[in-house]
Chains A and B, each alone.
Chain A
Amino acid sequence: MKRWRRLLLHGGALLSTLGLLSGVFFFLGHIVLKGMPSLSLALIFGDTSPLKALLFTQRVFNGLFPAICGTLCLVLLSVVLALPAGILTGVWLSHFGSGRAKALLSLCIDTLAGVPSIVVGLFGFSFAILLHKISHGTVGPSLGIAALTLSVLVLPGIVRNTQLALAAIPRETHLAVSAMGATPVQAIVRVYLPMASPGIFRGAILAMGRCAEDTAAIMLTGVVATAGAPYALFGRFEALPFAIFTIASEYSGPEELAQGYGASLILLLLCALLFGLSALIASRFHPDTP
């Protein structure tokens, strides 16, 4: 009987793993096969010279270059806004928070994690309207507001990853560091945060992925189909997920749909590039690095 149970467990686990892997391979293969044929300089730069586009001397009208730039700016801005706040909140929850204040903040973070992105987008939109009124029309839905909205969206993930990574540090390490004469702040900055950095960067990578792919939140906060490369913090912008959404909902023939797949492939490659860069930065922060 026990043998049957073990076989069932092993078989189930193997089937689930194979199912997951084949799903990932099928999905990636589908995007690559459909997107590769349309992948060209023309898809990115349109009729504009790539050099002039890259130097921002000539605007790209019928290519994905402005959307790529917009996505990059959006991801970097959102993570720059969310990372310090998320890490500090995680540190407070794991080291300083106690009692009702900690319970209340934990509840708020868990609730925020469960809020759909369209609702967070609506909050961003309301905030943009408020700013629009206060600034007499100079500030409205824009790259900065979209980045702020996305940073709210990814904050719970960064907080929880930081908190978990710090909580995983063994008690005997805490005792050893205290016995060395460290103040609580010295212990956190010089020992615990470097030790927790792999977990914190895992949170940052997940946040980057979320910022790169989320369409609902940015649709309400400043993304448009044609704005050119981002030119100001409070200016309208283009983004790849919105470009993919527009193509997929409005395509008039197989060629245009192929362009949508090409844009999806570019978004995947962009995410891979950002993940690679994050991993490189994380390796420099890793405590085992000499």
Chain B
Amino acid sequence: MKLTFNDLSFRYKTHTILQAVSLEVPKGSLTAITGPSGEGKSTLLSIVNHLWRPDEGARVSGDAMARFDSGVINLLSPHLDLPSLRRKAAMVFQNPVPLPFSIFKNVALPLAFAGIRKKEEVHRRVERALIRSGLWNEVKDRLHDRAALLSGGQQQRLALARALVTDPEILLLDEPTSSLDATSREHIEAQLLTLKTHCTLLLVSHSEAQVERLSDRIYQLKAGNLKRMR
């Protein structure tokens, strides 16, 4: 998977959030975007999985292409198959948002959305996603407990498993450790490093130390301009 943005601009009503941004994310890398809060880092991520809403006063121009195994997709096309795109470009948010279901159902839900219903297949994929997110050993005996009972760090790894369960080609990470303690953050960071072999990672973080530790490429977003730092 390769992601390429060329001269990408994003305006929200009268505010310019991204100004002629160019970015290249190679396959199998961890690319980080850092910078001060409120500068448009999350907006940049939302363009990849099309979570921005064109009818809410947002205007976007330029080129944004994603090369998936199945072919090249123009991310700015108005005719995108959004559910399919979002399964290929999964996202982990700053807050884990555990749904009020069991741990198992939380992870299995994206498979139901994808139309995967075979019990054995669902169980196999849920187990693999929980192993990849580093949560399996802690929850394997209580998969049917409520997800809300997990600790903050565990909930974030649950969100990571939920994103990984559909085997995405790109994983979008929006400040995934900013609300966690040091131990939980280390847990997540360790998992992210192992995930590079399975998919491409695009991380947004305001912690310069974290992006230094984890990233192959680092970009800084400031006042709408993106600058490559490493």
Give the B-binding residues of A (Cβ under 8 A).
172-173, 175-183, 186, 190-191, 194-195, 287-288, 290
Contacts and interface: CB of A to CB of B under 8 A. Distances in A.
B101 interface: yes
A237 B32 CA distance: 72
A202 B51 CA distance: 33
A173 B99 contact: yes
Given A172-B93, A288-B100, A180 B49 contact: no
Most buried by B among A173, A176, A183, A288: A176
A183 B110 CA distance: 11
Given A176-B159, A182-B83, A288-B101, 7 more contacts: A177-B99, A178-B86, A180-B113, A182-B109, A191-B99, A287-B101, A288-B148
B158 to A, nearest CB: 11
A195 B97 CA distance: 13
Contact of B93 (A176, A183, A190, A191): A176
B106 to A, nearest CB: 10
B123 interface: no
Contacts of B99: 173, 176-177, 191, 195, 287
A198 to B, nearest CB: 10
A96 to B, nearest CB: 14
Nearest to A187: B113
B68 to A, nearest CB: 14
7 closest A-B pairs (Cβ-Cβ)? A181-B87, A176-B97, A287-B100, A181-B86, A179-B91, A180-B110, A181-B83
Interface residues of B, number: 30
B144 interface: yes
A257 to B, nearest CB: 50
14 contacts: A173-B97, A179-B163, A181-B86, A181-B87, A181-B90, A181-B166, A186-B83, A186-B113, A190-B113, A287-B101, A288-B100, A288-B148, A290-B102, A290-B144
Contacts of B51: 175, 178-179
A177 B51 CA distance: 11
B86 A179 contact: yes
Contact of B109 (A178, A180, A290): A180
B203 to A, nearest CB: 16
Given A287-B99, A287-B100, A179 B49 contact: yes
Contacts of B193: none
B100 A181 contact: no
B190 interface: no
B77 interface: no
A173 B113 CA distance: 15
Contacts of A177: 99
Given A180-B162, A181-B84, A287-B101, A175 B93 contact: yes
A195 B100 contact: yes
B112 interface: yes
B97 A181 contact: no
B114 A181 contact: yes
B146 interface: yes
Interface in B126-184: 144-146, 148, 159, 162-163, 166
Contacts of A176: 93, 97, 99, 159
B119 to A, nearest CB: 16
A153 B163 CA distance: 45
Contacts of A194: 100-101
B95 interface: yes
A190 B49 CA distance: 21
A181 B113 contact: yes
A191 B162 CA distance: 14
A175 B100 CA distance: 15
A182 B109 CA distance: 9
A178 B166 CA distance: 14
A178 B82 CA distance: 9
Contacts of A175: 51, 93, 97
Interface in B70-85: 82-85
A172 B83 CA distance: 17
Nearest to B99: A191
Nearest to A176: B97
A180 B86 contact: yes
